[in-house]
Chains A and B, each alone.
Chain A
C-alpha cells in the first residue's frame, strides 16, 4: 500500500516544459509555480478559491491553483500566464487589454486572461452576457469590469475580422 507522506515526488509539464520535483504535500500549485518555479505571473489573492487571481489551465481547463496541491498534478499539463505570452510582445488578447485600458493595478489581469483563454477556446464568439458570466469568478477591485469586457469583445472582433480577411 502507498504510504502517506509529507513529501511527494511529482512530475508534470509547466508551459510545455517537463518538471520533476519533490514537494511538501501541503504546497499549493500556486505557491509551487511562484516560489519553486519562479513563475510569479500567477497571482495569489484570497487563497480559498473566490478571487480567481491564481487561475491557471490544467490540461487546457481552468482551475484555481490555490485549490490544488502540487502533489496532485502528477502527469498533468499546467499552463500559466507566462505560457500564454509570446516570447516577444503580447498576445492579441493581452494587446486588446492594453489598448482598452482593461487593467489598473493589474493584480487580476493574469487570471482574467487565463479565464478568457478557456472561454474563447470553447466559445469563439461569446455574447457580452457570456463574457460577463465567464469572468464573474474573477474579482477586479479597480476597473468596474467595463473595459475588461470591452477588451475581450474587441479581441473577438479582431479575430473574427482576421478570420474573414
Chain B
C-alpha cells in the first residue's frame, strides 16, 4: 500500500506546471487535493513517473463572482470552501449543497473542485452538479486555453475531454435559477452515493401558458418550467443527463404528478453498475425515486412558502 517511486516537482507558476507536464511525456500527473489520485497511487493502480504539485498556484485559486450573476471557481477550490462560500451559497446553492455531500470533513478540507472534475468518478457529486448547472470547464496547455461545456467534458468512466498535457484551471458557473434539488442515497454519510440526482428548474417560458390559478393562491402557482436539467450520478459511466424526463416536463407545470411521471421516465434511461452495494435494478429504482424527490425539492423552492 505504498506508492511506487516517483519524482516530485512543486510548480511555481501555471506556465511552469504546463512545462513540467509536457516534460513528463504523458507519464506525469497533476497533484491537487490528492484525495482520488493518492489512493490510486497507494494501491498502485496509477504509477506516474512525475507528480506535479500545483497546490501553491494562485492562478488556480479563488471564487470570483462574474458580472452576469455567475461564478468563476478556481480549480484548487476545496470542497469545504465551496460548501461554506457565501458567494456560492447565494449564486449556485446547488453547487454548495453538492460539495457538502462529498466524503468526510477531512476529505472536503483537501479535495478540490478541479480534481474531482478531472478525475470524473461517475458516482461523484460535483461533476453531476456542474452538468446540471450548465457550467463550463476551463483548461490550458501547450496549445493555449480552451473551454468545454460540462455536458461535453465527461466522456465516460474516469475519462474526460482534458488532454494529458492540459491542466484544468477553473469552472465557469452561470447564475443558477431559483428552482433546484439535490438528493442522494448513500449507506452512510460520506460514502459514495449508490445513486443521486441534481435538478435545476427555470420557470416562465414565454411560449407556454401559466397553469390556471387554483382557489385563492393563484399568484403562488408555479409557472410551467422553461428549462429543466436533470442529471443522475452513480447511475452510469458519467454524469447522466436524464433527457427523457426533461422532455416530459417541457411546457408542463411542475407539480407532484409531473414530478412522479418524470421519475418513472428517468429510471429506464440509466445504465448503472451492479456491485456489492446494490444491483443495477435497485439503482434504476433509486434514479426514479430520487428524480421525483429532487423535483419536489425544486417545487418547494419555487413556491413561496406559507406566510
Contact = CB atoms under 8 A, between A and B. Distances in A.
Contact of B10 (A2, A49, A62): A2
A48 interface: yes
Interface of B, helix, strand, loop or mixed by DSSP: mixed
B104 A2 contact: no
A66 B110 contact: no
A64 B16 contact: no
B2 interface: yes
B124 to A, nearest CB: 14
Interface residues of A, number: 37
Interface string A42-60: 0000111100100100100
A137 B35 contact: no
A26 B3 contact: yes
B38 A25 contact: no
A26 to B, nearest CB: 5
Interface of A: 1-6, 8, 24-26, 28, 31, 46-49, 52, 55, 58, 61-64, 66-69, 71-72, 74, 115, 118-119, 133-134, 136-137
Interface of B: 1-12, 16, 19-20, 23-24, 28, 31, 34-35, 38-39, 42-43, 50-53, 55, 80, 103-107, 109-110, 188-190
22 contacts: A4-B24, A4-B50, A4-B52, A5-B7, A6-B5, A6-B7, A6-B8, A25-B6, A28-B42, A46-B1, A47-B1, A47-B42, A48-B42, A55-B106, A68-B34, A68-B38, A69-B31, A72-B31, A72-B53, A118-B105, A133-B189, A136-B189
